[in-house]
Amino acid sequence: MLTILGRNSSGRRDFCDGLSRRGFLKIGGMAMGGLSLPQVLQAEAEVGTGSSHKGIINIYMPGGPSHIDLWDLKPDAPAEIRGDFRPIATNVPGVEICEMFPRMAQMMDKFVPIRSISDADGRHDCYQCMTGRKFGERKPPGGWPAAGSWVSKLQGPVNTAVPPNVALMYPTGNRTWGEPGVGGFLGVANTPFNLVGRKARSSAEHMILKGISLERLGDRNKLMKALDGFHREADNSGLMDSMDIYTQQAIGILTTSKLADALDLSKEDPAILARYGKSDEKFQRDGAPKMIENFCVARRLIEAGARYVSLNYSRWDWHGGDGLNFPRSRQEMPLLDQGLSALITDLHERGLDKDVAVVVWGEFGRTPKINRNNSRDHWPKVSCAMMAGGGMQTGQVIGKTNRYGEYAVERPVKFQEVFATLYKSAGIDYKSVREFDQGGTPRYMVDQGIEPLRELV
């Protein structure tokens, strides 16, 4: 039987598998500059807490999804541009999307396709989708914070059992597709708390708390029993009373059920979970696994108290000698259609559509002209996004590209405008926010002059 407390050969009390109490309290701190979890919580407490509970879900598609095959088809273009797919009508008159998304088409009044993102950095990584900033621009001392770090800093935790800024970002073979960002000059306390590791499981209920591998601590049921046993033993022995408040909160994250329950999909209504489709734990080459059930986990994390959830999903970079653009699209798009429609349906059924905003996007678009491998290459001149929830004015399209999908001809959109819209939906008066970097220079959430997308707010 697995126990969380034991004695090693020297008689010192250790946690299971030889993990010391100090090591236990450092769980989760490994991704935060080596600080222990109590130190992180102490820093968070200094920020204060917010009074409302808005939420943002940022779904990143590693590799650069094809705008012209997703939300901006060009059926009248020559064959070498229009590709294999045809548009279908949606429940919003005049709006069409790819035939691979029939579920979303029937609820397009709850979505907003953005067809004209025009300032992609062109780098093959998630940095711009996590921060809104271009990688090559001059960075302030301490670095630019991830978007969720701003939310964490300004609104603080909803409760002590769930960090406000969490991530389901799998470490990927291409490292830059799996980095949720850092707290930057806002401090390590606001760094995303990543909840997944390199080994995906067959279902999201097997996800791990950062730094606690199931190989070390056994299956999930035994892990939870062990943690619960530690909590009871600590309370009975008076150990909890001897710890400072931040250590108690650290133990709380690992032993109370709120965060663990959010990750445990066995606690979800099976009928609702079935809407999302079945996850595939296999990593997609150097990308992320197709853990479509993480869309449901993201919603559960928001309900549990998280304010910002970022996640990476699958791999969307198909243009080499394999010529897999269209075959892979036929595999990937129906599952994405199912997962996104399930997530947005859930938000509306639960009355969360006014409070939780969702964005789905990648780092750039794809060449309108199909290459000799029957695939599309990188195309930073224009890319796309899909937004929903957050009280936004949905059921419309933002932007327009030319007849070949090469560049925006109406309403060019910047990544920072999308983030400004998300901040606005989260109830943040971002124009009044000014924070100082480590060199003492005032910094803002988005550049001066950037506004939310007026069509949505």
Does 302 fall in a domain?
A: yes
**Mean pLDDT, residues 278-289:** 95
Share of the chain above pLDDT 90, in %: 70
Share of the chain above pLDDT 70, in %: 76
Number of domains in the chain: 1
DSSP state of 146: P
Does 95 fall in a domain?
A: yes
Whether pLDDT at 30 is above 60: no
Whether pLDDT at 16 is above 60: no
pLDDT of residue 302: 97
214 burial via Cβ count (<10 Å: 0-12, 13-18, 19+): middle
**Mean pLDDT, residues 286-295:** 97
pLDDT of residue 385: 98
Q: For the chain, what is the mean pLDDT?
A: 84
pLDDT of residue 222: 52
φ, ψ dihedrals at 361, nearest 5°: -165, 175
Does 247 fall in a domain?
A: no
Q: How confident is the model at residue 189 (pLDDT cuts 50, 70, 90)?
A: confident
If one compares 22 and 392, the residue with the highest pLDDT of the two is: 392
Pairing state of beta strands 165-168 and 308-312?
parallel
Whether pLDDT at 109 is above 50: yes
Whether pLDDT at 25 is above 80: no
Q: How far is CA 256 from the centre of its chain?
A: 23
**Mean pLDDT, residues 33-61:** 65
Does 66 fall in a domain?
A: yes
128 neighbors 363 (Cβ within 8 angstroms): yes
Whether pLDDT at 313 is above 90: yes
Does 380 fall in a domain?
A: yes
Give the domain CATH number at 201: 3.40.720
DSSP state of 432: G
pLDDT digits (tens, 9 = 90+) for 320-379: 877 789 999 999 999 999 999 999 999 999 999 999 999 999 999 999 999 999 999 999
Contacts of residue 410, defined as CB under 8 A and 6 or more positions apart, other chains included, come to 116, 399, 400
Does 373 fall in a domain?
A: yes
Domain extent at residue 127: 56-213+272-443
Does 115 fall in a domain?
A: yes
pLDDT of residue 321: 79
Does 449 fall in a domain?
A: no
pLDDT digits (tens, 9 = 90+) for 53-104: 999 999 999 999 999 999 999 999 999 999 999 999 999 999 999 999 999 9
Range scoring the smallest mean pLDDT among 13-22, 136-145, 166-175: 13-22
Contacts of residue 338, defined as CB under 8 A and 6 or more positions apart, other chains included, come to 103, 275, 276, 277, 292
103 burial via Cβ count (<10 Å: 0-12, 13-18, 19+): middle
pLDDT of residue 455: 97
φ, ψ dihedrals at 290, nearest 5°: -85, 65
If one compares 252 and 346, the residue with the highest pLDDT of the two is: 346
Q: How confident is the model at residue 263 (pLDDT cuts 50, 70, 90)?
A: confident
pLDDT of residue 1: 20
**Mean pLDDT, residues 380-389:** 98
